Amino acid sequence: MALPTAGSSRDNNFNLLRALAATAVLVSHSHALTSGHSEAEPLRASLGLSLGTLAVAVFFFVSGFLVTGSLQARGALRPFLRARVLRIFPGLVVCMLLTVFVLGPWATTLDTASYLAHPRTWFHLLKNTTLLFGVRMPLPGVFEDLPYPVTVNGSLWTLPIEFRLYLGLGLLSVIVARVPGAVAPRVLPAAVAALAAVGVAAFLREPIEANTTALMCAQFFLGATLQCHRDRLRLTPRGAGLAAALLAGSTLNATAFAWAFTLLLGYLVLWLAYVPGGALRRFNRVGDCSYGLYLYAFPVQQALVSVWPGLTPAGLSAAALPLTLALALASWRLVEAPALRLKARPTPAPAG
Domain presence at residue 1? no
Distance CA 119, CA 124 (A): 9
pLDDT for 267 beyond 50: yes
Q: pLDDT tens digit string along 200-214? A: 999 999 877 788 999
Residues across the chain: 352
Q: Give, in degrees to the nearest 5, the angle at Cα 208 between 84 and 17.
A: 40
Mean pLDDT of the chain: 92
pLDDT value for 183: 65
Domain presence at residue 229? yes
Domain presence at residue 322? yes
What's the Rg (C-alpha) of the chain?
21
- CA dihedral sign, ordered 294, 295, 300, 305: positive
pLDDT for 4 beyond 80: no
Domain presence at residue 128? yes
pLDDT-derived band at 276 (thresholds 50, 70, 90) equals very high
Per the structure, how many domains does the chain have? 1
> Residue 280 is which amino acid?
L
pLDDT for 88 beyond 60: yes
Q: pLDDT tens digit string along 12-41? A: 999 999 999 999 999 999 999 999 988 888
pLDDT-derived band at 349 (thresholds 50, 70, 90) equals very low
- CA dihedral sign, ordered 21, 136, 31, 204: positive
- Global pTM value: 0.94
Q: pLDDT tens digit string along 223-260? A: 999 999 999 999 999 999 999 999 999 999 999 999 99
The beta strands (E) that lie in 164-208 are given as: none
pLDDT-derived band at 320 (thresholds 50, 70, 90) equals very high
Distance CA 104, CA 116 (A): 9
Domain presence at residue 33? yes
pLDDT value for 344: 65
Distance CA 115, CA 152 (A): 15
Distance CA 17, CA 19 (A): 5
Q: pLDDT tens digit string along 118-127? A: 999 999 999 9
Angle (deg, nearest 10), helices 51-74 and 158-177: 30
What range defines the domain where residue 313 resides? 14-344
Domain presence at residue 5? no
Average pLDDT over residues 305-312: 95
Buried b (16+ CB within 10 A) or exposed e, 47-75: bbbbbbbbbbbbbbbbbbbbbbbbbbebe
- 135, 154 Cβ separation under 8 angstroms: no
Q: Distance between terminal CA atoms of the chain?
A: 49
pLDDT for 8 beyond 70: no
48: number of CA atoms within 13 Å, CB side? Answer: 20
pLDDT for 63 beyond 70: yes
pLDDT for 147 beyond 90: yes
Non-local CB neighbours of 85 within 8 Å, separated by 6+ positions = none
Distance CA 310, CA 85 (A): 40
Domain presence at residue 131? yes
Distance CA 92, CA 331 (A): 10
Q: pLDDT tens digit string along 160-201? A: 999 999 999 999 988 887 887 666 678 889 999 999 999 999
Domain presence at residue 3? no
The widest CA-to-CA distance across the chain, in whole angstroms, is 66
